[in-house]
Copies of this chain bind each other. A is one copy, B any other.
Amino acid sequence: MSKQKPGIPKGTRDFGPEEVAKRNYIIDIIRHTYALYGYQPLETPVMENLSTLMGKYGEEGDKLLFKILNSGDFLKDADAQLLADKQSNKVLTSLSEKGLRYDLTVPFARYVVMHQNEITFPFKRYQIQPVWRADRPQKGRYREFYQCDADVIGSNSLLLDAEMVMMIADVFTKLGLRVTIRLNNRKVLDGLNEYIGETEKNVALITAIDKLDKIGADGVQNELREKGFSEEQIEKTLHILNISGNTSQKMQSLEKLFTGEQGKKGISEIQELFSKIAHVASSTIQVAFDLTLARGLSYYTGTIYEVVSNDVQMGSILGGGRYDDLTGIFGLPNMSGVGISFGLDRIYDVLTELNRFPASASTHTQVLFVAFDADAESAALQYAQQLREMDIRCEIYPDLQAKTAKKFKYADDKQIPYCAIIGSNELVEQKVMLKNMQSGEQELLSIEEVIQQLTGRSGFVDLSE
């Protein structure tokens, strides 16, 4: 076997100790918050049948699915002529039956349908797992990334929509981030469509509005013109987009303008939602009604959620919404649900940019034993067990012969705050020389005194900074 220069596939990442600890800090807050609201964990396989995945994410999505070659003689069942003609698309289904999951929502829907007879509805689940997309990798966009989803299915109660906002606020409050929670309702978007008197080009209208942030009012105007909307329709649309004021002022304005059924319902739902979350806004959490928010349409039918950081330009760090018929495609119709998904990578980047990770988001070793001979090493083995029983993370430098400077350097490199040195003198005294690696101070202590010193202080882990 020849030597290889190793690498990893583009768009994927290794996470070293520091990164894993920081990612887990975020994940633990999200998971804990979900559990406090009665959401229960679910884990699904990384591989799903292609029949489950294909056709769920549009034509573009089908292309972005990672497909797995069938095992063994994978060409066996493929059409020889199609192979010779290199018709990749046409032979695909005979070469591959499985793919990597593209999101956590479709597997959730698949799970609910498979287990519908065992599940008590409404069914609240959270799922924190990686997903894969064969997108072109770029800054902040990866081919393997985590999603942190909570969904509830089997109820159309707006209470659940409201609790989503509360969970979002709780998570970002715990993370110490200032954010704006943007809310809209798909029926408000439909109401706009009713208002301008155009029910056919609904999708084109919403797609154009969704881009307001990026292309401005002029851009929206141009796009609508291209799509064949009349000047009157365009004017009415811009009128709606220009409605100013706070959330309740905006809702009042719309209430007067919207006379269609969907629009009325949308305004009523948004009003009810905001009445339930009146207490959520705080000095760090803004909550805003944004009637241009569409989240690229997807399958949302009710409330739509998006969160952006108030301090870092980063795009949305959470998205979500209500959908009326997620499981219909798998044979279980009319199940209404609502869900949100935290963007772990972007939240990580925001916390990094603001330097907002706490010192406790690390799992450094707390004490390194440095022994000078075999007897000292035996003592260290015993002492280390005593420390571990008290939940103190410690290790013994494994190579007796190494130079002392090398042992201390190991502690420094690994940001270990204390070394417990054992030489012949310490052995006789049945003590260790505890060295503070930051101050350089040393103290001769019994192992009980070491434990006392390390556990007596609250928040000892913070010393690892």
Contact = CB atoms under 8 A, between A and B. Distances in A.
Contacts of A103: none
Interface in A148-203: 152, 155, 157, 159-160, 162-163, 166, 170
A157 B407 CA distance: 14
B63 A329 contact: no
A44 B20 CA distance: 10
A357 to B, nearest CB: 15
Interface string A24-60: 1000000000011110111111111101100100000
A394 interface: yes
B48 A8 contact: yes
Contacts of A100: 46, 68
A9 B48 contact: yes
A280 to B, nearest CB: 10
B69 A42 contact: no
Interface string A221-235: 000000000000000
Copies in the complex: 2
A132 interface: yes
Interface stretch (A70-78, A240-248, A446-454): A70-78
Contacts of A166: 385
A212 interface: no
B155 A6 contact: no
Interface in A101-149: 110-111, 113-115, 120, 122, 124-125, 130, 132, 134, 143-144
Contacts of A47: 9, 12, 66, 132, 143-144
A457 interface: no
A330 B4 CA distance: 5
Given A46-B144, A52-B6, A330-B4, A398 B122 contact: yes
Among A110, A328, A388, residue most surrounded by chain B Cβ atoms (within 10 Å):
A388
A314 interface: no
Nearest to A32: B391
Majority SS of interface residues in chain A?
mixed
Among A83, A120, A409, residue most surrounded by chain B Cβ atoms (within 10 Å):
A83
A256 interface: no
A12 B45 contact: yes
Given A1-B55, A159-B377, A365-B38, A20 B8 contact: no
A13 interface: yes
A92 B368 CA distance: 49
Contacts of A377: 159
Contacts of A329: 1, 3-4
B71 A75 contact: no
Interface string A55-98: 10000000110111101111110101001101110011001111
Interface in A345-371: 363-365, 368
Interface string A393-411: 1111011100000000110
A14 interface: yes
Nearest to A98: B9
A216 interface: no
A413 interface: yes
A83 B75 CA distance: 8
Contacts of A144: 45-47
Contact of A276 (B42, B49, B170, B381): B381
A21 interface: yes
Contacts of A36: 388, 391-394
**3 closest A-B pairs by CB:** A38-B395, A17-B40, A12-B45
